[in-house]
Structure 1
Amino acid sequence: MTAPVAPAVDTSAPVAAGAPPWGLLSVLWVSQNLGIGFLTVGLVAILRSDGASLEELSLVSLLGLAWPLKLLWAPLLDRYGSRRLGHHRSWLLVLQPAMVVALLALLPFGDPAAALGPLVAVCALYVLLSATQDVATDALGVRLLRPQDRGLGNGVQVGASYVGTVLGGGLCVLVYDRAGWAAAVLLLAALTLIALAVVLRFREPERDPRVPGSAAWGALIGVFRRPGVPRWALGVVPLVYGGAAGVYALPSAALVDAGWSLTRIGVVTGVVVSVPAALAGPLAGWLVRRWGRAVVLAAGGVGLAAATAGLVPLLRGAVPLAGTVAALGGFLVAYTALNVVVYTVSMDLCRPATAGTDFTTLTTVPLIAAFLTASAALATAALVGYVASAALWCVVALAGVVLGVGWLRAAPLR
């Protein structure tokens, strides 16, 4: 059996010689997930409480599909930018206030279920702006984080996504329940505006070299031509992400079958279990720096298998509250560790000149895998039951972990 081909990794010094801008990156990563958390968790609960049908709620859920579309225009953010204002900072100076305006455009929808079509259109615009902001933020992360800081940086990124979900999908829903729609929307806009203040104070190091126009879109394919990248990005990552997403697609449906309300499901799955996952992100990032990428990937796989076993009572119809929360929380903690490693290695494989495009391309692959296998897992469950389906997709994830550990052991990333 031949050893995996080691990737060509750029481990040179980052653009910035000083300490990484943790405050900037943290608030930007939280900011982009505030509205997403509100739309995918909070808005679903609000609409359901107002009498929206499941078919209408599925329309809202489709908003998530807009996130991978950023791949189409990510090269623009690498190609164009202001030298005076900072290449990627100049994009953030436009995108961050645009996200605030898009949120404020939700104010007229005091009765969300009464004008669902226009509401979804405004939400779709916000998702596209947020996704584009993510490209600019991740490009800064690739350029400004030193190789030894990338694990912690991506741990912060994953943790920030859960913080955004807790604030947007939890806190804002509580504000809505107590003070109404306008108060919840204004809170979202105000929290998003905080990140703009941080961007205004940030001074981005000059970016050099610039990406030639002919090379901008070529980077979408060019990153896969680097030695070792296809094995990781098209082999390991889809198995890890797809398997984990397949397992996690099952508990929500099982909870509905067990008689839980959608509001209770949303609070538990979107808020309560997000807290330990948010804490696990930075911890996993610190462990990546201390133990290495391969060890944390292996530990995440073991944790995922244990948590999947813990979900068996739920999947068989028994839903003890404490056990269910513990199993779901444990699963998200393990998934977070896997996510941190995937994002860290993706950042390792990026080229500084096309950082936004490369990172977006490499992280879109797992998103697509997650969407596809989540649907496939539910179809599998219809044929063989929840438990057998969960076992199958857990094995898929573990196969990816085993392949990934072998790949990392042969790569200069430890």
Structure 2
Amino acid sequence: MTTVPSGSHAPSPAGVFVAVGGLYIAQSVIGGLTMLGLPAVLRSQGLPLDQIGLLYLTVIPWAFKFLWSPYVERFRLPAVGRNRSRSIVFAGGLLCAAGLVSIGLTGPYPLAPVLSVLLLVALITSTVDIACDGYAVETLAKEHHGWGNTAQVGGSYLGSALGAGLFLILVERIGWSYATFTMASLVILLGLPFVFGPASRSAVETRSHAPSLLLALKRPQVQRGLMIAAIYVAAQKWGLSMLGPFLIDRGFDLASIGILNGVGSMIVGFSGALLGGMLVRLWGGTTVLILAILLQTMLLAAFALFSFDGSLPRAFIIPIAIASSSGVMSVGFVALYSQFMGWSDPKQAGVDFTLFQCADGMVSMAGGLGAGWISEHFGYPFFFTAAAIVSVLAIPAIGLLMRGMNDNAVVLAQLSDGR
């Protein structure tokens, strides 16, 4: 892996933060549209929940991008030459925008063609993400890695606000086509700071390390980290996969859900990301992870109660939904992703970090597909109750696995010396 450029070629941390932050926002615009916005649109048109759950197939590229991450990194970082991150991002942004324009022209249903296009867009976006993560880790000096983590988590919530919040409001006001065209334009605009920013001024370098998936999988720290990631994602995400359709079935319109998603992501989610970073520094990653699961369990139990007893005032659902999908999630995932950075080998952080993200994607996809089927056949009360039980069981599992994972820097240094 290349080292941080020196001299006149070294970009400012603020410039890198803005550049990669724009890409993280753009990725989450697409993700928010696909996973939160589109399910609500489809449910408002009467599609059954088990069909809506098929949208979680778009997580497949995110779940398996570790398979091609070494090849992307080797192309991006040639043995001799300039960093190719800019080329990957530029081409990927154009292709993603073209995909959104195409579904804007065809409409949100029938679902099969829309799903096919979104799968292709997800493949492109996940590949761009490998380059973006690798560029951030290698370009920012170690003391500025927190900037990259803030850009990733904060950008994801801002992008989700646009893709799930603003998008639904636009669908309600100006229709599907123009709303989707607007999102395509945003994807292009958000990529410009990277394409014309610090990535355009890379220097010719010589690199000796070839990124390897096998080296990552051999490390016990990565193996245990993957188990932690899988359990934690199941506890945090599974119960929220049917939140949009649930709110539609309880009488909320698309504009209301859009406002909920937008306010939750932009204000509560971003604030939660900042709070999560502070709590990790004060209490450590393990404590924050377990605290987030506890809070999510209580919120899922509240959803289960409301789904049993529909007489509970709708006003109670709004703060619970925002707290669950934005507040608690952002606090917990800042802690989890900070652990990912610590568990990644600096010599091939793009590959290692991608592995952890893929565990997130695989578990999210499995939970989303199962959530639609369970909700359709057994109802929301059973679904939310089962999700709360999964969260409870995750607490002791996370606690046990996190033992011995705190001295990450020491262990990694020993492993690197012995390689």
Mapping 1:99-178, distance limit 5 Å:
99-109=96-106, 111-113=107-109, 115-178=110-173
Residue number in structure 2 paired with 1:407: 404
Q: C-alpha deviations, 1:17-58, integer Å up to 9, x for none?
A: 554211001100001111221122222333333444445433
DSSP 3-state at the match of 1:409:
coil
Residue number in structure 2 paired with 1:238: 230
- Structure with the bigger percentage of helix: 2
Between the aligned partners of 1:141 and 1:356, the Cα distance in structure 2 is: 9
Between the aligned partners of 1:196 and 1:273, the Cα distance in structure 2 is: 24
Residue number in structure 1 paired with 2:342: 348
Asked whether the equivalents of residues 303 and 330 of structure 1 are also in contact (C-alpha less than 8 Å), the reply is: no
TM-score scaled to structure 2, two decimals?
0.79
Q: C-alpha deviations, 1:275-294, integer Å up to 9, x for none?
A: 41233224423554x43xx6
Asked whether the equivalents of residues 43 and 245 of structure 2 are also in contact (C-alpha less than 8 Å), the reply is: no
Deviation at 1:209, TM superposition (A): 5.2
Residue number in structure 1 paired with 2:264: 273
Mapping 1:206-225, distance limit 5 Å:
206=203, 210=207, 216=211, 219-225=212-218
Distance change >3 Å, CA 243–CA 153, structure 1 → 2: same
Asked whether the equivalents of residues 295 and 328 of structure 2 are also in contact (C-alpha less than 8 Å), the reply is: no
Tell which deviates more after alignment, 120-129 or 296-305: 296-305
Q: C-alpha deviations, 1:313-342, integer Å up to 9, x for none?
A: 431224433433333333342332221222
DSSP 3-state at the match of 2:105:
coil
Deviation at 1:139, TM superposition (A): 1.0
Mapping 1:59-74, distance limit 5 Å:
59-74=54-69
Q: Which amino acid counterpart does residue 389 of structure 1 have in structure 2?
A: A
Between the aligned partners of 2:385 and 2:190, the Cα distance in structure 1 is: 45
Distance change >3 Å, CA 35–CA 413, structure 1 → 2: farther
Distance change >3 Å, CA 59–CA 244, structure 1 → 2: closer
Mapping 1:199-348, distance limit 5 Å:
199-204=194-199, 205-206=202-203, 210=207, 216=211, 219-234=212-227, 236-249=228-241, 259-260=250-251, 263=254, 266-267=257-258, 270-275=261-266, 276-288=268-280, 290-291=281-282, 295-316=284-305, 317-318=308-309, 319-331=312-324, 332-348=326-342
Q: C-alpha deviations, 1:52-91, integer Å up to 9, x for none?
A: 4445433334223332232222222111137766322221
Asked whether the equivalents of residues 86 and 203 of structure 1 are also in contact (C-alpha less than 8 Å), the reply is: no
Distance change >3 Å, CA 13–CA 108, structure 1 → 2: closer
DSSP 3-state at the match of 2:103:
coil
Say whether 1:397 aligns with 2:394.
Answer: yes
Asked whether the equivalents of residues 20 and 194 of structure 2 are also in contact (C-alpha less than 8 Å), the reply is: no
Deviation at 1:250, TM superposition (A): 7.1
Distance change >3 Å, CA 407–CA 237, structure 1 → 2: farther
Distance change >3 Å, CA 239–CA 374, structure 1 → 2: same
Between the aligned partners of 1:334 and 1:255, the Cα distance in structure 2 is: 19
Residue number in structure 2 paired with 1:98: 95
Between the aligned partners of 1:119 and 1:394, the Cα distance in structure 2 is: 33
Q: C-alpha deviations, 1:341-392, integer Å up to 9, x for none?
A: 2222222333344332221112211322333456678869969945753443
Deviation at 1:124, TM superposition (A): 1.9
Distance change >3 Å, CA 310–CA 231, structure 1 → 2: closer
Residue number in structure 2 paired with 1:358: 352
Between the aligned partners of 1:278 and 1:222, the Cα distance in structure 2 is: 35
Between the aligned partners of 2:240 and 2:410, the Cα distance in structure 1 is: 29
Between the aligned partners of 1:347 and 1:55, the Cα distance in structure 2 is: 36
Between the aligned partners of 2:246 and 2:95, the Cα distance in structure 1 is: 39
TM-score scaled to structure 1, two decimals?
0.80
Between the aligned partners of 2:289 and 2:90, the Cα distance in structure 1 is: 37
Q: CA RMSD in A?
A: 3.6
Residue number in structure 1 paired with 2:182: 187
Tell which deviates more after alignment, 266-275 or 225-234: 266-275
Unaligned runs of 5+ residues in structure 1 are 1-9
Between the aligned partners of 2:410 and 2:255, the Cα distance in structure 1 is: 42
Asked whether the equivalents of residues 281 and 337 of structure 1 are also in contact (C-alpha less than 8 Å), the reply is: yes
Asked whether the equivalents of residues 251 and 314 of structure 1 are also in contact (C-alpha less than 8 Å), the reply is: no
Residue number in structure 2 paired with 1:3: none
Between the aligned partners of 1:24 and 1:273, the Cα distance in structure 2 is: 24
Residue number in structure 1 paired with 2:416: none
Residue number in structure 1 paired with 2:415: none
Residue number in structure 2 paired with 1:5: none
Between the aligned partners of 2:114 and 2:294, the Cα distance in structure 1 is: 40
Unaligned runs of 5+ residues in structure 2 are 412-419
